[in-house]
Amino acid sequence: MRIIVTICAAAITVAVATTAQAFCGFYVARADTSLFNKASQVVLVRDDNRTVITMANDFEGSVKDFAVVIPVPTKIEREQINVGDRAIVDHLDAYTAPRLVEYFDPDPCMRYENYKMSQDSAFPSSTVTRESATAARSLGVVIEASYTVGEYDILILSAKESGGLIQWLKDNDYRLPQGAEKVVDSYLKQDMRFFVAKVNLAEQSKLGYQYLRPLQIAYESNKFMLPIRLGTLNAKGKQELYVYALTRSGRVETTNYRTVKMPSDTYVPEFVQGEFAEFYRSMFDRQVAAENERAVFLEYAWDMNWCDPCAADPLSQQDLRKLGVFWVGGQSSNDSLSMPAQDVFVTRLHVRYDSEHFPEDLVFQETGDRQNYQGRYIIQRPFNGESSCDISQYQTELRDRQEREAQQLANLTGWNIEDIRKKIPFPQLAEPQNEPWWKRIWG
C-alpha cells in the first residue's frame, strides 16, 4: 500500500517603530527549520489572483511509498506544474530565520555615545490506462489530466461525491486517514480539484536524484489559502509549518487566525549563544501556549533586496524566478539576474497546528505594510580589556544589566531564574578608588 504523507502543511497528504531601523550588529546564530521536528515548508508567491506554490515535503522513507494528494482551487494544465530546487527553499529559510546578534561594550574609560538601534524538461505522458479512467468514471471520479513531470506521475482529479473519490484513491493504493471523507466532501463543495502525485521510479533513476525535489504549481484563483485539514488526520501529534510568502505589496497575514509577532529586539545573556536552539524552541513553546495554540506567528517581514544583519544573502532574481516570482528577471541580463530583486517583499510565518486547534484551512491576505521586522535577539558582550580608570560604576551597571537579561530570559522561556543566574559571570564589584586606607584593613 502506498502511504499518504503530510507534505508541507498542505493538505492532504493524505512592536515595530513607525520608521525603519537599522539593526546592525554581528550575526552569530539563526533559528532555521532544522530546530523543529516534522517541519514542513511552503513558498507562496502571490500577485493579484495569481499564485505559485512550492511544497518542500518532509517525507522520510522509501520513495516508492511516497504519494501526495493536494486540494487545488482550479484545473491544472501540464505547463502549470514544475519540479523545483530544494536548495533555493533552504536558502530562503536561512535568509528569513530568526537570528542572534552580538554587540561589544567599548572601553568604559573612553567617552562615547551609545546608539541603540533599538524547470525540468518534461512531456505529457499517458499515466492512466483507458480501463482505470473507466473505473474512475464509474465512481463519479473524472481524471481531468495526467502528466509526468520530472520524477513525479501526476493526476488532476475531480469528483461528484467524496465517497467515490475516497474509494478510487483506496483502489489505487492510497492509504487515507480515518475521517478523510468528511474533509474531502468539504473541498468538493468548494468545487476544488485534487492534485495527486506519486514517484515514477524509472524517471527518478534516469534523472539521478537521491531525494524528492519540491513540487510547484502555478494557478489563478481568488482564493489565497493553504489547505491543512486533511494533513492533520493521520499526523502523529502537532506539526510545524513554515510559510514563506513573496508578494509585491507587503506583509502577508492570516485572516481566520490571529497573526502574532514573535518577541524581538530582546537582550539575552551571553551563554544563550551556545544554547540558541534550546532558547528559541522554549520561547516558541511559551508563545504558542500563551495564544492557546491557535495563533500563526510572524518571524520575519522584509524587502528582499537587503537584510540587516544577514543570516544569509538575499535571494537573487534568478532564484526568485525559480520560486515562481514571475514579475522579476523576465527581460534582464544574466548579470542583473544575479543581483537582489526589487519590488519583492517576503513574509515568514510559523505555525504549530493540529486538528483540534486549527479546524480550518489557513486563509491569507496581502497587506500594504512594508515595515521591516525580524525575530532578533541580542547579546551585549561586556568589556574585558585593561582599563585606565575607575570602572566600578560600569561594573555596577553591568551587574544590573545582566540581572535584567536573566529575568527577561526567564520570562521568554519559562526557565528557572536561579539556573539562569548560575550561568552568568556577574562581575565582582571593584573596590572604590581613593578610599581611606583604613577602610581596607579588616575587609
- Nearest Cα residue to 376 out of 348, 335, 414, 334: 348
pLDDT in tens, the chain (443 residues): 333 333 334 443 333 333 333 445 577 888 888 887 778 899 999 999 999 999 987 676 677 777 788 888 888 999 999 999 999 999 999 999 999 999 999 888 874 334 333 334 344 444 566 677 788 888 899 999 999 999 899 999 998 888 888 888 888 877 777 788 888 889 989 988 988 888 888 888 888 776 789 999 999 999 999 998 877 776 678 889 999 999 998 999 999 999 999 999 999 999 999 999 999 999 999 999 999 999 999 999 999 888 888 889 999 999 999 999 999 876 555 555 566 667 899 999 999 999 899 999 999 999 999 999 999 999 999 988 888 888 888 888 999 999 999 999 999 999 999 999 999 999 876 555 676 777 667 75
Q: How many domains does the chain have?
A: 1
pLDDT tens-digit map of 251-265:
999 999 999 999 999
Q: Is 58 left (phi over 0), alpha (psi -120 to 50) or beta?
A: alpha
Q: Are 107 and 385 in contact (CB under 8 A)?
A: yes
**411 in a structural domain:** no
Model confidence, pTM: 0.83
> Does 57 reside within a domain?
yes
Residue 189 lies in a domain: no
419-428 tens-digit pLDDT: 999 999 998 7
Q: Are strands 345-353 and 295-303 parallel, antiparallel or unpaired?
A: antiparallel
AA identity, residue 139: L
Return the half-sphere exposure (C-beta side, CA atoms, 13 A cut-off) of residue 237.
4
Residue 187 included in any domain = no
- Establish if 325 belongs to a structural domain: yes
Q: Which CA distances in Å does 426 have to 279, 395, 406?
A: 20, 9, 11
Q: Tell me, yes or no, whether 142 lies in a domain.
A: no
Domain membership flag for residue 414? no
Domain membership of residue 264 as a residue range: 2-118+213-389
